[in-house]
C-alpha cells in the first residue's frame, strides 16, 4: 500500500497501484455514513442470520456465525467506528471480508495469514469503479470516521464516500485489546 502525506504531516494510506488503474469498490451504509471497501477484500455478502452472542465482549462484537462449517466473528461496523450499535433491519447484511492480520502499514501483506470477519452494515448498494487518482487522501479533520480508518475519499452519485482501510479497522491487536479491556457490570 502506498502512503500519502497530508498538509498536516500525517501519513495516510492510499490505494495501491498507478493513478490511472481502476479500483472496484463496494458502496454501503453504516448508520448515516456512506462508506466503501475495496471489492478485492470482500468474499461475500450475506443476509443477517442467527448470530451466537459472545459473553463479556464490547458492543462492536455482535457474536459469531457459522459460515459453511467455519466460525466467523461478526463485527458491528457502526459500533467499531464509535457510533451506536446497528439496529438490524430488513436491508441489514453481513459483508464477509478478508484482511491481512495486524497490518496497518505498507509492509508486504502476502506473507501474513488472512483474517476473515463479517461486518454488520445497514445496507449494501453496488460495486462501482474509480480510477486511482479519483481516490484522495482523507483529510485529518472534518470526517465523521477517524481519518486513520480511511484509505481515502472519493465521490459517487453526488456523495463523498469514505473508503475504509480494513487492515486498520480490523487490526487484530487493537480488537483484542478492546475486548480484553471490556468489563461487564
CB atoms under 10 Å from CB of 14, counted, come to 20
Residue 111: what are its φ and ψ, rounded to 5°?
A: -100, 0
On the question of pLDDT at 51 being above 50, the answer is yes
Of the CA atoms within 13 Å of residue 113, those in its CB half-sphere come to 3
Buried b (16+ CB within 10 A) or exposed e, 68-101: eeeebbbbbbbbbbebeebeeeeebbbbbbebbe
pLDDT range class, residue 139, cuts 50, 70, 90? confident
The residue ranges of every structural domain in the chain are 2-181
pLDDT range class, residue 109, cuts 50, 70, 90? very low
Q: How many whole angstroms separate alpha carbon 120 and alpha carbon 51?
A: 11
Per-residue pLDDT reduced to its tens digit, 60-103? 999 999 999 999 999 999 999 999 999 999 999 999 999 876 54
pLDDT of the residue at 146 = 87
Mean pLDDT score of the chain, rounded to an integer? 84
Q: Which helix (H) or strand (E) holds 166?
A: helix 166-169
Q: How many whole angstroms separate alpha carbon 103 and alpha carbon 166?
A: 10
Q: How many whole angstroms separate alpha carbon 120 and alpha carbon 3?
A: 28
Per-residue pLDDT reduced to its tens digit, 19-39? 677 899 999 999 989 999 999
pLDDT range class, residue 111, cuts 50, 70, 90? low
Per-residue pLDDT reduced to its tens digit, 163-175? 999 999 999 889 8
Q: How many whole angstroms separate alpha carbon 118 and alpha carbon 44?
A: 9
- Enter the C-alpha cell of residue 10: 500525517
- For residues 108 and 167, the model is more confident at 167
pLDDT range class, residue 148, cuts 50, 70, 90? confident
Question: Taking a C-beta distance cutoff of 8 angstroms, is the pair 169, 162 a contact?
Answer: no
pLDDT range class, residue 112, cuts 50, 70, 90? low
Domain 2-181 has CATH 1.10.3480.10: no
On the question of pLDDT at 128 being above 90, the answer is yes
**E strands in 82-136:** 93-100, 114-121, 123-131
pLDDT of the residue at 7 = 40
In the three-class reduction of DSSP (H, G, I as helix; E, B as strand; rest coil), residue 36 is classed as strand
Of 79, 76, 78, the C-alpha closest to 65 is: 76
Question: Taking a C-beta distance cutoff of 8 angstroms, is the pair 44, 96 a contact?
Answer: yes
Look up the pTM and report it. Answer: 0.82
Of the candidate ranges 33-37, 116-120, 148-152, 178-182, the one whose mean pLDDT is the lowest: 178-182
CB atoms under 10 Å from CB of 172, counted, come to 16
Amino acid at each position: 500500500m502506498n502512503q500519502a502525506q497530508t498538509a498536516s504531516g500525517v501519513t495516510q494510506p492510499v490505494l495501491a497501484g498507478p493513478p490511472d488503474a481502476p479500483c472496484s469498490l463496494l458502496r454501503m451504509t453504516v448508520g448515516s455514513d456512506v462508506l466503501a471497501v475495496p471489492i478485492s477484500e470482500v468474499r461475500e455478502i450475506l443476509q443477517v442470520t442467527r448470530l451466537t452472542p459472545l459473553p463479556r465482549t464490547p458492543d462492536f462484537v455482535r457474536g459469531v456465525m457459522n459460515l459453511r462449517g467455519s466460525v466467523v466473528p461478526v463485527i458491528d461496523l457502526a459500533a467499531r467506528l464509535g457510533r451506536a450499535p446497528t439496529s438490524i433491519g430488513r436491508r441489514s447484511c453481513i459483508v464477509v471480508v478478508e484482511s491481512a492480520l495486524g497490518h496497518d502499514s505498507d509492509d508486504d501483506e502476502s506473507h501474513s495469514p488472512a483474517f476473515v470477519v463479517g461486518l454488520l452494515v445497514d445496507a449494501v448498494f453496488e460495486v462501482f469503479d474509480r480510477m486511482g487518482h479519483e481516490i484522495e487522501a482523507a483529510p485529518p479533520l472534518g470526517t465523521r470516521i477517524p481519518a486513520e480508518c480511511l484509505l481515502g475519499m472519493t465521490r459517487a452519485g453526488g456523495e463523498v464516500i469514505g473508503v475504509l482501510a480494513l487492515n486498520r479497522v480490523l487490526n487484530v491487536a487493537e480488537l483484542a485489546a478492546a475486548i480484553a479491556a471490556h468489563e461487564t457490570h
